[in-house]
A and B are shown apart, each in its own frame.
Chain A
Amino acid sequence: MSIFHSFPNLPGPEETAFCKLNEVYCCGNARYGNISTFSNATKKHPIINVTRDLHHHRTSDENISMYIDVEDNLLKKITSVWYKQGFLEALSVAADPSVNRESPTLAVTASYILKVANILTAFRYFLQPHLKDIGPKIVANYSRTRNWGQVPVKCLAWHPHTTKIAVATVDDNVRVYCSEVTFVSTLKCKAQGHVSSLNWRPLSASELAVGCEQGVIVWTVDPNLMFTKPSSSNAVLLKKNGHSPVTDVSWSPNGDLLISCSGADTSMLVWDTAMETAIPLRRVAGGGNVFARWSFDASKIFTATSSIIFRIWDTKTWTPERWCARGHRVVAACWGPDNILLFAAKGEPMVYALTTTSLLSGSQTTKATPALDVTKVELSSGEPVGGPILDMCWDPTGRYMAMLFEESHLVAVFCTTYIMMQLKIDPCCFVTGVEDEIPCTMAFQQNFNDGACLTIAWSSGRVQHFPIIYSESY
Chain B
Amino acid sequence: MDVTCDIFSKRLIISVLWNIGLQAVIAVMLAYIYGCYYVKPLPKYFTRFSMFLSLFCTQNIIFSILYALSGYFTMSLYSSLAKSNFNTLKKICENYDGQCLLEQSLFLQMGGMWMGLYYFLNAHIFSPTTLTFPHIYQDKFQQIKLAIHSILSCGFKNSIIPVVYYCIFYYFWGHKPRNVVSDVYGLYLEDKPLDNILNLFGSGIWIGLWFYTSLFLISVYAMRTVFNIVLTEPMKFPIESSKKLTLHKAIAQKSQFNGYLGTQDLKIMSLTDTVRRKEIFTLSQPGGHPRNWNNLLQECLKIVNDFSKELDSINGDMKPVEIEMLPKRPGSSITPKSTLYTGNLRNMAYSPQLHELKEHNKNKSEDTLLSAIKEEFNILVQRIRQKPGISYLFGELTDTRLKFLLMQAQPVMWTCEGLAFIAAASLKEDKYGVVQTDLPIVISTLINLKQNLDKLTKPGLVPRKHILNDSFALKMKSALLSSVKLSIYKIVITFSKYIHEIPLDPDVQIAIQPFLICKEA
Contacts and interface: CB of A to CB of B under 8 A. Distances in A.
B271 A254 contact: yes
A178 to B, nearest CB: 10
Contact of A279 (B134, B417, B490): B134
Given A205-B521, A222-B521, A276-B475, A319 B139 contact: yes
A203 interface: yes
Q: How large is the interface on A (under 10, 10 to 19, 20 to 34, 35 or more residues)?
A: 35 or more
A41 interface: no
Contact of B490 (A203, A225, A275): A203
Contacts of A277: 132, 135
A223 B138 contact: no
B519 A257 contact: no
Interface in A166-207: 203-207
Nearest to A270: B136
Contacts of A162: 517-518
Contacts of A273: 482
Interface in A248-294: 254-257, 270, 272-277, 279-282
Given A222-B521, A280-B146, A299 B272 contact: yes
A274 B138 contact: no
A59 to B, nearest CB: 32
Contacts of A203: 485-486, 489-490, 493
Interface string B65-107: 0000000000000000000000000000000000000000000
B469 interface: no
A445 B485 CA distance: 23
Contact of B479 (A254, A255, A275, A281): A275
Contacts of B135: 256-257, 270, 272, 275, 277, 279
A46 to B, nearest CB: 15
A226 to B, nearest CB: 13
A274 B139 contact: no
Contacts of B483: 256, 274
A204 B482 contact: yes
Interface residues of B, number: 31
Q: In the complex, which of the residues A204, A221, A274, A279 has the most CB atoms of chain B within 10 Å of its own CB atom? A: A274
Contacts of B478: 274
A275 B482 contact: no
B508 to A, nearest CB: 19
B139 A272 contact: no
B293 interface: no
B137 interface: yes
A220 interface: yes
Contacts of A275: 135, 475-476, 479
Interface in B500-521: 514, 517-521
Contacts of B520: 205
A272 B479 contact: yes
Contacts of A279: 134-136, 138
Given A224-B519, A274-B475, A276-B475, A317 B486 contact: no
Interface string B412-434: 00000100010000000000000
Nearest to A222: B521
B486 A223 contact: no
A299 B268 CA distance: 12
Given A204-B485, A316-B272, A282 B493 contact: no
Given A206-B521, A282-B146, A274 B489 contact: no
B496 to A, nearest CB: 9
B268 to A, nearest CB: 8
A206 B481 CA distance: 13
A273 B271 CA distance: 19
B447 to A, nearest CB: 16
Contact of A318 (B132, B136, B421): B136
A161 interface: yes
A298 interface: yes
A175 B489 CA distance: 24
Contacts of A221: 521
B139 A317 contact: yes
A255 B492 CA distance: 14
B518 A205 contact: yes
B519 A223 contact: yes
Contacts of A316: 272
Given A272-B135, A274-B479, A318-B136, A298 B521 contact: no
Contacts of B272: 299, 315-316
A275 B271 CA distance: 21
Interface in B427-472: none
Given A270-B136, A318-B139, A319-B139, A256 B521 contact: no
A255 B521 contact: no
Contact of A161 (B145, B485, B486, B493): B493
Contacts of A272: 135, 479
B519 A205 contact: yes
A144 B482 CA distance: 31
Contacts of A281: 138
Interface string B129-159: 0001011111100100110000000000000
B138 A256 contact: no
A272 B521 CA distance: 18
Interface string B26-47: 0000000000000000000000
Nearest to B471: A276
Contacts of B421: 254
Interface in A383-401: none
B159 to A, nearest CB: 21
A270 B146 CA distance: 14
A272 B414 CA distance: 13
Interface string A406-443: 00000000000000000000000000000000000000
Nearest to A276: B475
Nearest to A164: B518
A356 to B, nearest CB: 16
B136 A257 contact: yes
Interface in A50-80: none
Contacts of A207: 482
A274 B521 contact: no
Contacts of A257: 135-136
A204 B489 contact: yes
A234 B139 CA distance: 35
16 contacts: A161-B518, A203-B493, A205-B518, A205-B521, A207-B482, A220-B521, A254-B490, A256-B417, A257-B136, A274-B475, A274-B482, A275-B479, A277-B132, A282-B146, A317-B139, A318-B138
Interface of B: 132, 134-139, 142, 145-146, 271-272, 417, 421, 475-476, 478-479, 482-483, 485-486, 489-490, 493, 514, 517-521
Given A204-B485, A224-B521, 20 more contacts: A159-B518, A161-B493, A164-B518, A203-B489, A205-B489, A205-B518, A206-B521, A255-B490, A256-B417, A273-B482, A274-B482, A275-B476, A279-B138, A280-B146, A282-B145, A299-B272, A315-B272, A317-B139, A318-B136, A319-B138
Closest 4 CB pairs of A and B: A274-B479, A222-B521, A203-B489, A162-B518
